[in-house]
Chain A
Amino acid sequence: MKRIVPLWITAIVGLVLIVSNFLPGTRSWGEEATTWFGIIAAVAFVLGGGSLLKVHLKKISDRNSGWAYSMIVLGTFSATLAIGLFKIGVAPNPSFPDVPWSGDVQGQGTPFWWVYEYVFKPLTATMFAMLAFYIASAAFRAFRAKNFEAVLLLGTAFIILLGRTFAGYFMTSWIPVDGPFSGLRLEELSVYIMQVFNTAGNRAIIIGIALGIAGTSLKIIMGLDRSYLGGGD
């Protein structure tokens, strides 16, 4: 029972969705299923919050190392959640001022917006901006032209890095634009690499991935691949 029901659910949903592509009469079934999917995806956000709560509560109760940080996680989590769920400080929708819950919780000026603008945004954006530093250090310490393949890779990277800034234009601006060697101007060369070599390589990768995905999906729908149910049969 524990295994059979999920397998049937996967098979039925999968088949309905595939069939709805070819039989117009069943198209609405497909629409229905994908809409439900979206709702479940939204519930998954709730699940994410719940799991976070569970993990950090456990850390605190076990007094794991760094449990104080778990307190911060829980504190900011609960505060944000309360502000958002109860629409604290949100003015009603101007078209319906008599419905207090009609306001836009994400609207500019609300406390929830404040959390986004001054906490969420700077933190996530800076987290990602750090990668520029790491990439610089990796450039110095890790990217080695140890064989012909690596030379090709780094050489292409140089052309792209130069060709996609003013430096490329500046360095090869002496090559006449309409002469026979105009293709050697760095900005032209970078376009050529992207549109021919990169396109060819990625096209092969894309075709391969598409085949792989079709194969995997088939196995999942047919119940041959059950890894998503966790730990083998």
Chain B
Amino acid sequence: MKRPSSLLQTNSILAMLTVMIVMVVMVMVSGSFAAPPAPTDVVAEDLPADGGGAAMVTWTIPTGVDGLEGFQVWRTEAVSETTSRVGNERGAALLGVQNQAYQNEYQRLVGVEGVAPEDASMQARIVARQAVIDQRDSVTPTETGPHGRFWVLVDTVSADTDRLQVGKLSPSDEYRFMVYTVAKTADGGVAKSEASAETGMVLPAASGIDVKRLPLFFILLLLCGSVLFFIHWARSGRPITIRKIAGLSAVDEAVGRATEMGRPILFVPGIQDMDDLQTVAGITVLGRVAKTAAEYDARIEVPTSRSLVMSAARETVHSSYLAAGRTDAYNPDLIYYVTDEQFGYTAYASGLIVREKPAACFYMGCFFAESLILAETGNSVGAIQIAGTAMPSQLPFFVAACDYTLIGEEFFAASAYLSGEPDQLGSLKGQDMGKIIVGAVLIIGCLIATVAVITGSESLMHAVDWFKDSVLSA
């Protein structure tokens, strides 16, 4: 629980190694009394069809061992590990030499020779540094272990296991493995066998295909396939039906009311540029609103926060008026760019609402914090408000303050429906297929899991676990 001192931290690797060595030695000593037999036929192989960095170690469990506890799997160090271990060990040892020499010399100088402390420390440092230089070659790092190598403990496994998948290896280094048997001794202690024979060199290289990730690949293929299929379906002229979207039917009502009251309609296409899908969807909805407005002869005003959005909006509104046969009523000056600044734009738009008192306000696109300010101002002048956005954090405010809100995907669906483009409709349909799959998997999965718990059926539980761990998590 406690934080180790900084010295301990420096040498934590060293300390760990020392403990290991002591353990190994202890085991060797105790092993001479009643050592269980070591596992035989220890074989290591690169794990096939993986992303690299993993190997499989297998062994034969020795028979007739009393109190068999499990097995310890060890591996050799990689070259880089050896280098850093040796470096650390030497560094720590030399630091120790230096500190010792400094202490000795300082005490001698101050205590025996009566040198002033400020001189003594300097002289002692010189001596200490010389001591390091003198003893540099005598400090050699430990390099011991069975088979003349240095080993690192990978893991301990239970008694009935005869294989271990070793991960987190470097795909570019070669490794050897060995296994110990661990068993209880008669006096209640734990004894470790002699080391097994070491395995051959294994290079845990990456293979051509990562099999573990194949389920993900097929699921992607399935989802993409259904989207592409329905795009193709729609392109070939076959009908795609989309359910009625409540917010859209309200458009007519809102525009109608604006005409009745003789007040304008305000349309805000969000504050992002055309590269945001929500802005694109917003402009599509604008097309529909403008068409209705042209038919009813209502005035529609569109302040934008980006100049590109302005051009797109003008184009769209123009073609809507064209479609309604009212090109004479189209006024491009009512669609204009204000400023890129978030709050500058908001201040302008809310000012506009207060001045012009529009009968209907549409907020369709990507919104951030300004959603709240706009919706509030619109509400205060008694406008019918219809919003559409996919920003999860802004939806609550629109829902609370507007009359209709196109929520998230509904907004995109509305855009697809209005645009009538086969690509948009097809991909919407494709996504719907994805949702059917989700629903089916959830219902079946939960039912099977419930049955498994209630009946206690092991095989069903395994099936559910397998599905969750292999298919659903790549």
- Say yes or no: B51 contacts A24, CB within 8 Å: yes
The DSSP consensus for interface residues of chain B is helix
B379 interfacial by beta-carbon distance below 8 Å: yes
Q: How many residues of B contact A (CB 8 A)?
A: 52
- Say yes or no: B401 contacts A143, CB within 8 Å: yes
Please report the C-alpha to C-alpha distance between residue A127 and residue B368 in the assembled complex, in whole angstroms: 13
A99 interfacial by beta-carbon distance below 8 Å: no
Using a CB-CB cutoff of 8 Å, which residues 120-152 of chain A contact chain B? 127-128, 131, 134-135, 137-138, 141-144, 149-150
- Say yes or no: B227 contacts A135, CB within 8 Å: no
Q: Known interface pairs A25-B208, A143-B400. Does A138 touch B375 (Cβ–Cβ under 8 Å)?
A: yes
Instruction: Give the segment of B195-203, B210-218, B251-259, B351-359 that binds chain A.
Output: B210-218
- Say yes or no: B400 contacts A212, CB within 8 Å: no
Q: How many residues of A contact B (CB 8 A)?
A: 43
Using a CB-CB cutoff of 8 Å, which residues 267-313 of chain B contact chain A? 274-275, 277, 280, 308, 311-312
B209 interfacial by beta-carbon distance below 8 Å: yes
- Say yes or no: B408 contacts A142, CB within 8 Å: no
- Say yes or no: A153 contacts B396, CB within 8 Å: yes
Using a CB-CB cutoff of 8 Å, which residues 183-211 of chain B contact chain A? 206-210
- Say yes or no: B369 contacts A219, CB within 8 Å: no
Using a CB-CB cutoff of 8 Å, which residues 187-217 of chain A contact chain B? 202, 205, 207-209, 211-212, 214-216
Please report the C-alpha to C-alpha distance between residue A55 and residue B418 in the assembled complex, in whole angstroms: 35
Q: Known interface pairs A24-B206, A150-B399, A215-B427. Does A227 touch B280 (Cβ–Cβ under 8 Å)?
A: yes
- Say yes or no: A218 contacts B400, CB within 8 Å: no
Q: Known interface pairs A150-B400, A209-B408, A215-B427. Does A141 touch B277 (Cβ–Cβ under 8 Å)?
A: no
Q: How far is the CB of B333 from chain A (nearest CB, A)?
A: 17
A180 interfacial by beta-carbon distance below 8 Å: no
Residue of B315, B375, B431 near A208 (CB, 8 A) is: B431
- Say yes or no: B224 contacts A224, CB within 8 Å: no
Residue of B217, B373, B380, B431 near A134 (CB, 8 A) is: B373
Q: How far is the CB of B127 from chain A (nearest CB, A)?
A: 28
Name the B residues within 8 Å of A224 (CB-CB).
Answer: 231, 423
- Say yes or no: B376 contacts A208, CB within 8 Å: no
- Say yes or no: A219 contacts B396, CB within 8 Å: no
Name the A residues within 8 Å of B223 (CB-CB).
Answer: 211, 214-215
B220 interfacial by beta-carbon distance below 8 Å: yes
Using a CB-CB cutoff of 8 Å, which residues 1-23 of chain A contact chain B? 18, 21-23
Name the A residues within 8 Å of B206 (CB-CB).
Answer: 24-25, 27
Q: Known interface pairs A135-B372, A150-B399, A216-B427. Does A207 touch B438 (Cβ–Cβ under 8 Å)?
A: yes
- Say yes or no: A23 contacts B210, CB within 8 Å: yes
Cβ contacts A to B, 26 pairs, < 8 Å:
A22-B213, A22-B216, A23-B208, A24-B50, A24-B51, A24-B52, A24-B207, A134-B369, A138-B372, A138-B375, A138-B401, A141-B380, A142-B375, A142-B401, A144-B400, A150-B400, A153-B400, A205-B392, A212-B412, A212-B431, A215-B223, A215-B224, A218-B227, A218-B427, A225-B423, A231-B311
A residues adjacent to B (C-beta < 8 A): 18, 21-25, 27, 55, 127-128, 131, 134-135, 137-138, 141-144, 149-150, 153-154, 157, 202, 205, 207-209, 211-212, 214-216, 218-219, 222, 224-225, 227-228, 230-231
